[in-house]
Amino acid sequence: MDQKLLEELKKTVKGDVVTDDVTLTSFSHDASLFEVKPQVVVYPKDVEDIKALVTFVNKHKKDHQDLSLTGRAAGTDMGGGSINDSITVAFQKYFMDKPVVHGSTATVEPGVFYRDFEKETLKHGLIFPSYPASRELCAMGGIVNNNSGGEKSLEYGKTERYVEEVHIVLSDGNEYVFGKLTEPELKQKMSQNNFEGRLYRETFRLVADNYDLLQDARPKVSKNSAGYYLWNVYDREKKTFDFAKLIVGAQGTLGLVTKAKIKLVPVKKYSEMIVIFLNNLDHLGEIINDVLPLKPESFEAYDDHTLKLAIKYFREFAKQLGAKNTLETAWHFLPEFMMILTGGIPKLVLQVEFTGDVRHEIYEKIEGLRAKLKPFQVKMSIAPTKKAAQKYWLIRRESFNLLRKKIKDKHTAPFIDDFAVRPEYLPEFLPKLNALFTKYPSLIYTVAGHVGDGNFHIIPLMTIEDPDTKKIIPELGKKVYDLVLAYHGTITAEHNDGLVRTPYLEQMYGKKVYDLFRQTKKIFDPEGIFNPRKKIGGTMEYALSHIREHW
């Protein structure tokens, strides 16, 4: 950004405008394998600052085509969704007011860490059930804009189900409140002779005229974060219209969310976990079919690579469990050490968690499951204490962070990290997936995921600096996504599109639906000022040319 423009920007906002190299380098990365350096980072002080930023970009866009605004909360995005090459709008300084809980909802700003949000909701016996595995690191802005999901999504669904209202600054520089409208309310909005009225008229026409096409395009899986959720906006039977359902998961490409009203659910009194150790995947499909009818709150999985990582770095996990000395540390992982000595590492570990307000009903489900699984002769264990259950949750949640921190000669490369297929396809799908990986014997990777949703996270470890290794990314990525789409799955169930998956969206949805996505972007953001190259216009060439080279 030239000096004259920068000086004008500094006068435009009350918040901080930062251009030092340390800050710009830090904001050129998220949790993805990409590096895109912004020209400036702005910490807006309030909504008026965000409006002023939009007005500033609109004013200069004609002469500076590369000007854009990319929102960023905690920067934990694994697909490159929160990095860009112009102005990064950073919410983690001034947009972190204490959440306000009222009744069964909470109002929250985008910069608030999920861990702090949960502390407030738990005071009222309530929780937001769609938190992701990165719950200790992520912020609410990313959760809303990525349509995050996690371990409780099997029972409760994803973020899209819980966002009742969003406050958002759009491309005309004004802030709007979006929520569910009745038919009369929608007609009133469409009658307005202004920017908002045009938005409602054009979007309603788009979704109504293509209603059946869009309903058919909805991925046939329980979780999806790919594309724009146009099928969620208009309910023809109930005659309701809700722009908030479009903003959730739009990854900041349609505007900048300044606040969200989130629905909460009561915390259940009791929980018990049964852990199942599989030496092979021969009976996985039958086991899944036995588990799901019992309606567990969570049904998670991780592979032998993840378990080996946990055992290797067991001291790290034990610290988080509150171990005070080496003996107590070793005690926490004694079952895993014994497993190695007596039978080796299982191929897959399944965690099944049942919750409820009546304890004996939980035990009945566990005993029923044990009886059903007995013919398969699999090892099973009921977590005897809360700490034991917490250990398994830590292994499931923290493996990615351990990979990033501990493996110094290789780097995490999340490029096939979030696909989903229907669980009934897994027995047929997983061997085909494994066959793809056998063609790359040098590739080290971990597998974890939400097996109840058919949602898996595969994180390869790679020497990204090696040009030959770098070639694997588009090659293997295409093979994996071709396989996922052959089974009618989604290329991203939780993590969203970003730089890494936007190039596959037309393949996933087809040209007609992708063109509707393009029209949606044009309706909301005609000049392309919000988070360019995400959802629309991103190419594999751009993504590959921005793979991170320095770690």
Q: Where are the domains of the chain?
A: 3-93, 100-266, 270-486
d(CA 496, CA 31): 13
Helices (H) and strands (E) in the chain, counts: 24, 21
- C-alpha 461/C-alpha 361 separation (Å) is 42
CA 257 to chain centre: 17
DSSP state of 424: G
User: What is the structure's pLDDT at 320?
Assistant: 67
For the chain, report the end-to-end CA distance as a whole number of angstroms.
25
Give the span between the Cα atoms of 36 and 82, in whole angstroms: 10
User: Which secondary-structure segment (H or E) carries 303?
Assistant: strand 298-303
List the beta bridge partners of residue 106.
101, 262
Q: How far apart are CA 81 and CA 75, in angstroms?
A: 9
Q: What is the pLDDT of residue 321?
A: 62
Q: How many angstroms separate the CA atoms of 113 and 137, rounded?
A: 7
* Bridge pairing between strands 444-450 and 298-303: antiparallel
Q: Any idea which architecture 3-93 has in CATH?
A: 2-Layer Sandwich (3.30)
What b/e string do you get for 119-136 counting C-beta neighbours within 10 Å, with b at 16 or more?
A: ebbeeeebbbbbbbbbbe
pLDDT score for 404:
66
CATH fold for domain 270-486: Vanillyl-alcohol Oxidase; Chain A, domain 3 (3.40.462)
Residues (pLDDT < 70) of the chain are 314, 317-343, 399-400, 402-409, 551
CB 50 within 8 A of CB 27: no
On whether the CB atoms of residues 450 and 130 are closer than 8 A, the answer is no
* Count of all residues that appear for the chain in the document: 551
Tell the CATH topology of 100-266. 3.30.465
CA distance 134 to 271: 21
417 CB-near residues (< 8 Å, 6+ apart): 78, 79, 457, 458, 459, 495
Question: Quick one: how far is CA 309 from the chain centroid?
Answer: 23
Q: Are the CB atoms for 394 and 320 separated by under 8 Å?
A: yes
Measured between alpha carbons, how far is 469 from 443 in angstroms, rounded to an integer? 9
Q: Which of 392, 405, 415 is nearest to 469 (CA)?
A: 415
**Residues 533-548, buried b or exposed e (16+ Cβ, 10 A)?**
bbbbebebeebeebbb
Which DSSP category does 97 fall into? P
Structure tokens at 31: 């949790």
- Give the phi and the psi of residue 163 in degrees, each rounded to 5: -85, 110
What is the value of pTM for the model shown? Answer: 0.93
